[in-house]
């Protein structure tokens, strides 16, 4: 039992280093991993060793605590026996939330406990608890959760048929070698009968687990069972040959003409981007950009807008998600940067008020929602802690004045 536990600790350490955990925990080492099991991961660190990024420059922010909790949860999930290295390209962590209960005292040990609960329909639940230990006193200072899904590629009908045929051929070959004929097969048969070609056979449907479909699923962010999707008003379709603008939020390249990022994202829905413009997303995540682009034909506009309708905006525009290492770029209707910043605050309120049914468009028009999102000091600090100096400047000059209207 001990060697197996040590193997999981070594695996967890290797995975965490590959996810740049030392950017947030300076002193991270194998000794930081207290416990590593299939459904539990315990990490400890001195408060002074955590990244200092509070707005006043003194101490660790709630954003960093949340980011670490979600990261440790993800790594703990990757310790499962069913986990395969090839699954990392099909892994989607969603519905991330965090509740901050208090700040750790100076000199305290911060303990992260990540656990895993199997769910239904392939969607599992990850939870984490953050504790602070000082002077023989241990208190909970925060907790969070997320859902996680692996979209594993599956074989389609044709592949399955070929597989069945191969198994049948192997079975007949084995029987032939042993000198025992198969049931209902003539011993004198020297060759297998071949199935006649059927030119009228329809093309097989694409399986749900197909990699291309998996890419679209990552963009659409599937919901957890029991969590209602926020109602959205239907976006208007473009008129024939009317050029409309959209954007990709969270892109990693600022040179789209030299990269395949836009092409890779839009190829799944057969859309071609034109007139691409790049803008830096003012969040505390290295290399994060907004790519503004045009779509020319009404048919392509419909494809983009249908994709937008199926997405959960309050999860995609959540500051914790956008700043997370595992966040994925997503497509949305084109808006200016100050509206993106405003949406970050609206999203923070929506995460804590999932029963809210007003669409994003409705909340952007009614500044009452923005006022509710910014008057709560804890929610406001969560967003501001994830913004760069430019993002905070946009908030003070363009967003905050709107709350008094």
Residue 190 domain-assigned (yes or no) = no
**Tally of domains in the chain:** 2
- Compute the distance between CA of residue 181 and CA of residue 172 in angstroms, rounded to an integer: 8
- Residue 20 maps to which CATH number? 3.10.129.10
**Same domain, yes or no: 271 and 145:** no
Residue 63 domain-assigned (yes or no) = yes
Domain finish residue from 85, 115, 150: 150
Domain finish residue from 96, 116, 150: 150
**Least-confidence region, from 210-214, 232-236, 355-359:** 210-214
Residue 202 domain-assigned (yes or no) = no
Residue 185 domain-assigned (yes or no) = no
Calculate the average pLDDT of the chain.
76
Domain finish residue from 150, 171, 191: 150
- Compute the distance between CA of residue 399 and CA of residue 370 in angstroms, rounded to an integer: 9
Q: What is the pLDDT of residues 74-91, one digit of tens each?
A: 999 888 877 666 666 677
pLDDT band at 57 (very low <50, low <70, confident <90, very high): low
Residue 379 domain-assigned (yes or no) = yes
Residue 163 domain-assigned (yes or no) = no
pLDDT band at 364 (very low <50, low <70, confident <90, very high): very high
| pLDDT on residue 85 | 64
**Same domain, yes or no: 272 and 389:** yes
Residue 194 domain-assigned (yes or no) = no
**Same domain, yes or no: 35 and 142:** yes
Residue-range definition of the domain harbouring residue 286: 238-404
**Least-confidence region, from 118-122, 147-151, 236-240, 316-320:** 236-240
- Compute the distance between CA of residue 246 and CA of residue 148 in angstroms, rounded to an integer: 28
pLDDT band at 50 (very low <50, low <70, confident <90, very high): very high
Residue linked to tokens 């836009």: 262
3-state secondary structure 110-136: EEEEEEEECCCCCEEEEEEEEEEEECC
More confident residue, 165 or 398: 398
| pLDDT on residue 226 | 41
Structure-token pair, residue 110:
């911060």
| pLDDT on residue 4 | 56
Q: What is the mean pLDDT of residues 83-101?
A: 75
**Same domain, yes or no: 277 and 375:** yes
Q: To the nearest whole percent, how much of the chain has pLDDT over 70?
A: 69
Q: What is the pLDDT of residues 127-142, one digit of tens each?
A: 999 999 987 788 889 8
């Amino acid at each position: 039992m001990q060697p197996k536990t040590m193997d999981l600790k070594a695996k967890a350490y290797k995975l965490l280093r590959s996810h740049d955990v030392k950017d947030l925990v300076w002193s991270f080492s194998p000794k930081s991993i207290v416990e590593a099991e299939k459904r539990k991961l315990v990490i400890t660190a001195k408060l002074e060793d955590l990244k200092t990024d509070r707005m006043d420059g003194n101490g660790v922010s709630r954003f960093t605590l949340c980011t670490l909790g979600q990261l440790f949860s993800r790594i703990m999930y990757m310790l499962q026996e069913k986990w395969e290295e090839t699954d990392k390209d099909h892994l989607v962590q969603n519905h991330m939330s965090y509740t901050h209960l208090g700040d750790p005292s100076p000199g305290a040990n911060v303990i992260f406990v990540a656990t895993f609960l199997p769910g239904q329909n392939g969607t599992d639940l990850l939870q984490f608890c953050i504790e602070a230990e000082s002077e023989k006193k241990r208190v909970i200072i925060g907790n969070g959760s997320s859902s996680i899904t692996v979209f594993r590629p599956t074989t389609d009908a044709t592949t399955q048929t070929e597989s069945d045929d191969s198994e049948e051929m192997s079975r007949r070959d084995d029987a032939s070698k042993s000198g025992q004929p198969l049931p209902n097969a003539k011993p004198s048969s020297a060759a297998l009968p071949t199935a006649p070609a059927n030119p009228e056979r329809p093309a097989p449907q694409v399986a749900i687990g197909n990699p291309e479909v998996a890419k679209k699923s990552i963009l659409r962010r599937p919901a957890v069972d029991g969590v209602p999707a926020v109602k959205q008003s239907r976006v208007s379709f473009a008129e024939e040959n009317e050029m409309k603008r959209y954007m990709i939020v969270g892109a990693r390249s600022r040179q789209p003409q030299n990269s395949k990022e836009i092409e890779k994202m839009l190829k799944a829905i057969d859309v071609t981007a034109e007139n691409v413009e790049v803008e830096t997303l003012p969040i505390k995540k290295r290399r994060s950009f907004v790519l503004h682009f045009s779509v020319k034909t009404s048919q392509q506009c419909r494809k983009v807008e249908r994709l937008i309708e199926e997405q959960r905006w309050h999860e995609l525009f959540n500051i914790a998600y956008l700043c997370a290492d595992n966040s994925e770029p997503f497509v949305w209707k084109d808006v200016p940067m100050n509206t993106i910043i405003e949406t970050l605050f609206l999203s923070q309120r929506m995460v804590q008020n999932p029963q809210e049914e007003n669409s994003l468009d409705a909340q952007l028009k009614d500044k009452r929602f923005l006022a509710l999102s910014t008057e709560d000091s804890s929610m406001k600090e969560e967003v501001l802690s994830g913004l760069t100096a430019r993002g905070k400047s946009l908030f003070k000059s363009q967003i905050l004045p709107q709350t008094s209207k």
